[in-house]
A and B are shown apart, each in its own frame.
Chain A
């Protein structure tokens, strides 16, 4: 038995060790709503959601909870844990998992050491014995460049598979995929025949890869449009100027700032967004950056400007 880290499921759920079933369910619902990857904007939402799902999987089932409680509070969380030698005898586990995350095989090593994989795996769904293998679903984070130019990317996926003993095991699988140019956040890449193998004769299922994008340091994605915040000086905005601007494809362009621009002015470069059909646009949003008045010369220049150009930016506030 490999050494694995003990997990305190009660702590994960934020409930007492003698919590009732109703309290556990309530705690789970609350945490699941908070960390559900489709709802939450927390950066570690997916990991937290899986952890909570696993804890609930154990604590909701009287048999599993009893078995887990028999371990006592175990070693302190984070310490190595070995299941007792007589572990696993005398318990029967039933019921499908709550379906945390996308892969039913995504339990922690601790969970697997106790309950195996099959205990939490989804049972085969009735009504789908059509001879085709099951479709698989996965999710990847792409870089923006992948959709701008298309191109080869390697994805490492954890794929549940049934081993010789009928247990579900997670296999790492590296897929080299030609990412289609113009794919948008939330869209799906389909790879025909890359899902599960059929049980008997028939075609393999398909693999659906849902795509999201990593935040880009410069460009923000909105649908098929891209946005860049471009700082300009007050005189560039007021008098007009031509400034070097990075574009999504990596080239620098000379962008003409029209005279009389202000903070928040949007300049559109048509068709330079995500090359979808129709292609998105690229918007440059101006920000006015003020030179710091740190030395005497700059202060004098500001004072001279104030004296020359009377200006009340708060006129519409009635002051």
Chain B
């Protein structure tokens, strides 16, 4: 089903995308209610609400992906996932700062 000699044009998904709840649910194969819960828990934030429909982009899509993986793989509930994500981001920040000094 794949041909070997053509180059597929890749697009940076986060830059073009402004995904709806349904898009995210589909992308990560979870129910829409689950995405709504991510928003309610503050794991991801809504990018624009003018259109009356929630939209997500960029970093929030990444956060959603990591959150759902942590939830599924480690059996953490959503508040726990939210906390883990915040701590992971803090850790990443510290590592960067340390890296730029050493």
Residues of A whose CB lies within 8 Å of any CB of B are: 29, 32-33, 36, 38-39, 49, 53, 98-100, 125, 127-128, 130, 134-135, 152, 173-180, 182-183, 186-191, 194, 197, 208-210, 220, 222, 227, 264, 277, 283, 285
Contact = CB atoms under 8 A, between A and B. Distances in A.
A210 B65 contact: yes
B26 A189 contact: no
Interface string B1-23: 11011111111111101000000
Nearest to A181: B12
Contacts of B36: none
Majority secondary structure of chain B interface residues (helix, strand, loop or mixed): helix
Given A125-B29, A134-B29, A135-B27, A178 B8 contact: yes
A185 B4 CA distance: 26
Contacts of A182: 12
A29 B29 CA distance: 23
Chain A CB count within 10 A is highest, among B2, B6, B13, B31, for B13
A100 B76 CA distance: 15
B96 interface: yes
A307 B76 CA distance: 64
Contacts, number: 95
Contacts of B70: 36, 38-39
7 contacts: A33-B74, A39-B88, A135-B29, A174-B2, A176-B6, A191-B8, A209-B10
Nearest to B85: A38
Contact of B7 (A100, A177, A186): A177
Nearest to B4: A174
B11 A180 contact: yes
A29 B74 contact: yes
B72 interface: yes
Nearest to B9: A178
B13 A187 contact: yes
B38 to A, nearest CB: 15
A176 B5 contact: yes
Contacts of B7: 152, 176-178
B10 A191 contact: yes
B77 to A, nearest CB: 13
A188 B13 CA distance: 5
A224 B55 CA distance: 24
A66 to B, nearest CB: 24
Contact of B74 (A32, A128, A152, A191): A32
Contacts of B75: 29
B53 interface: no
B1 A188 contact: no
Contacts of B88: 38-39
Nearest to A38: B66
Contacts of B5: 176
Interface in B56-83: 61-62, 65-66, 69-70, 72-75
Given A32-B73, A39-B84, 12 more contacts: A29-B75, A33-B74, A38-B70, A49-B73, A135-B29, A174-B4, A176-B4, A178-B10, A189-B12, A190-B10, A190-B11, A191-B10
Nearest to B65: A210
A259 B14 CA distance: 43
